[in-house]
Structure 1
Amino acid sequence: MVHDTDPRRGSVATSHPAAPAPLQLFCFPYAGGSARLYADWDSALPPHVRVRPVEPPGRGRRFRETPHDRIGPLVADLLPEVAEARNSPYALFGYSLGALVAFELARTMEQRHGRPPVHLCVGAFRAPHMRRTAVPDYDLPEPLFRERLRSFNGTPEAVLADESLMELMIPILRADLAVADTYRFSGDRPLSCPITAFAGSEDGEVDVSSVAQWRRHTSAGFSLKVIEGDHFFLHERQPEMLRYLSEVLTDGAQDTPD
């Protein structure tokens, strides 16, 4: 609260609600995705939120760089950008593979810098301690790999049919999927920040129960939001998801660290 003690207005103090401190929201894309996914989010989120789309190597402005295929080097690559915000309020959002990246960055920020995010938001990814039991996608032979991409329902048919484009995309997709497929959770204390997890009601890749297990990774509050749609409800139901995300980031705005 802000107390008005201006002597010109007499001795009675009046109170006004304090405006939420600016909150940086770092956003991480799904496998094969780029920072462009989040280009228009600023206009849909509250004014106090500043969206910071993060670009992994191999795409967008970093397309000439070699993509990482393991979680350790990828987190080390992206950490400096997030660490710049360690003295101000920040939150992390990651979708599918981006959820895993955001989680490991949150852990690193808490353990190494003592500055966890004020909130971790994840979508369409199983809880980190749950190992994937299916055959790894990243190592499939080319024809099977392309069919697997088609089954994800996240790559347009026009892109799948464009050989020149696929030649560029497949190395990035294989590297990104390798990050997820080779990841092994190393147990540690849970995060001290709240976690909000989003799940698709008809997600054939990640069921709701495995998303709900994210609750194990926080000692603070946890919430699960199930949204109608498949694995890419981020696109199908984006307005609904952003409305809920706005509520989450506004409710916690007054509790951000100094």
Structure 2
Amino acid sequence: MKPVRLFCLPYAGGSAVRVYHDWPAELPGHIELRPLELPGRGSRMSETPCPSVDGLVDDLVHCVLPAIDGPYALFGHSLGGLLAFELARRLEHAHHRPARHLLVSGYEAPDLPTEPDRDHLLPDDEFRKRLRELSGTPQEVLDNDDLMELLTPVLRADFTASNTYRLGSPWLRLSCPLTVFGGLDDPEAPPHTLRAWQHRSTGPFRLRLLPGNHFFLHTERTSLIEAVIDALGPAGEADAGRRRGRRA
């Protein structure tokens, strides 16, 4: 019986390996975590950051497709949630490899009529102030000019990707279950912006709200991991689902 391969995507500026480094210790044996590193960070530090969702998804497809040899799920937080959604759509509709489950965290529904952000265009000092407001970049990093010189191009590229994204082909919905996580006090993806995600899949939908702001991913890590485990179900469920599909 193959484990469920859980591909995880980071928030803007984050390294997937670092963001999810402590998840495997809390996951059961039937869930295998695979962090997806994006260009410009971690082991891919030497690569040029990509400022578009389409370009990032192109890159991710090449990384993920060869690694799909059984059931898989996708999880992403903030920008990572948007990338997980578009990656799931590409894998299902272009490559006929639907996910077992999509888990989106801390990102508002992509088809809401909202005014686009333009913070990727801010001058460096105002951009750094915006990062302080988000509370996702450590203070010691924000105060270190050398580190910020290295990190700012990655962050600008990620913010550009998120801010310039527009949902295309809205009729191409997923077929897998979709679970969305949100922070009760998240100003970036408030709870009222999350329920519309239900229109992005024909499968079962569930919204789960946790205490915390935009980075409840860290402050409520144990509760979030428990909810992810619950969403993916017990060992053996994936094989049972494939057997039911073959009989159908």
Q: What range describes the TM-score normalised by the shorter chain of this pair? A: over 0.9
* Contact 1:132–1:181 (8 Å) recurs in 2: no
| Secondary structure class of the residue paired with 2:58 | helix
Aligned partner of 1:6 in structure 2 is: none
List structure 1 segments (4+ residues) > 2 angstroms apart after TM superposition.
255-258
* Contact 1:202–1:230 (8 Å) recurs in 2: yes
Q: AA paired with 1:84?
A: P
Residue 130 of structure 1: how far off its partner (Å): 2.1
Q: Which among 226, 231, 236 is matched to residue 243 of structure 1?
A: 226
Tell me, in whole angstroms, the C-alpha distance in 2 between the residues paired with 1:94 and 1:253: 24
Aligned partner of 1:207 in structure 2 is: 190
Quote the RMSD (CA, aligned, Å): 1.5
Deviations 1:102-143 (A, max 9, x none): 111100001111111000001000111125415411111112
Deviations 1:136-165 (A, max 9, x none): 111111121111000001112111100000
Residue 85 of structure 1: how far off its partner (Å): 3.6
* Contact 1:199–1:226 (8 Å) recurs in 2: yes
Q: Which among 61, 64, 86 is matched to residue 79 of structure 1?
A: 61
Tell me, in whole angstroms, the C-alpha distance in 2 between the residues paired with 1:177 and 1:252: 37
Q: Which among 4, 8, 11 is matched to residue 30 of structure 1?
A: 11
Aligned partner of 2:213 in structure 1 is: 230
Tell me, in whole angstroms, the C-alpha distance in 1 between the residues paired with 2:14 and 2:101: 23
Deviations 1:55-82 (A, max 9, x none): 0000000000001001111111111221
Tell me, in whole angstroms, the C-alpha distance in 2 between the residues paired with 1:159 and 1:210: 30
Aligned partner of 2:25 in structure 1 is: 43
Identity fraction in percent: 44
Aligned partner of 2:135 in structure 1 is: 153
Tell me, in whole angstroms, the C-alpha distance in 2 between the residues paired with 1:242 and 1:43: 11
Tell me, in whole angstroms, the C-alpha distance in 2 between the residues paired with 1:198 and 1:135: 22
Tell me, in whole angstroms, the C-alpha distance in 2 between the residues paired with 1:254 and 1:113: 23
* Contact 2:116–2:163 (8 Å) recurs in 1: no
Tell me, in whole angstroms, the C-alpha distance in 2 between the residues paired with 1:183 and 1:79: 18
Aligned residues: 239
Gaps of 5+ in 1: 1-19
Aligned partner of 2:246 in structure 1 is: none
* Contact 1:121–1:196 (8 Å) recurs in 2: yes
Q: Which among 37, 41, 45 is matched to residue 63 of structure 1?
A: 45
Higher percent of residues as helix: 2
Q: Which among 157, 168, 172 is matched to residue 154 of structure 2?
A: 172
1:196 aligns with 2:179: yes
| Secondary structure class of the residue paired with 1:92 | strand
Aligned partner of 1:257 in structure 2 is: 242
TM-score normalized by the length of structure 1: 0.89
* Contact 1:27–1:93 (8 Å) recurs in 2: yes
Q: AA paired with 2:23?
A: W
Tell me, in whole angstroms, the C-alpha distance in 2 between the residues paired with 1:33 and 1:207: 21
| Secondary structure class of the residue paired with 1:196 | strand
Q: Please list, as runs of the form range in 1=range in 2, the aligned pairs for 1:62-141 lying within 5 A after superposition.
A: 62-141=44-123
Q: AA paired with 1:194?
A: P
| Secondary structure class of the residue paired with 1:39 | coil
* Contact 2:116–2:164 (8 Å) recurs in 1: no
Residue 252 of structure 1: how far off its partner (Å): 8.5
Tell me, in whole angstroms, the C-alpha distance in 2 between the residues paired with 1:51 and 1:37: 12
Tell me, in whole angstroms, the C-alpha distance in 2 between the residues paired with 1:48 and 1:81: 22
Tell me, in whole angstroms, the C-alpha distance in 2 between the residues paired with 1:130 and 1:113: 27
| Secondary structure class of the residue paired with 2:119 | coil
Aligned partner of 2:203 in structure 1 is: 220
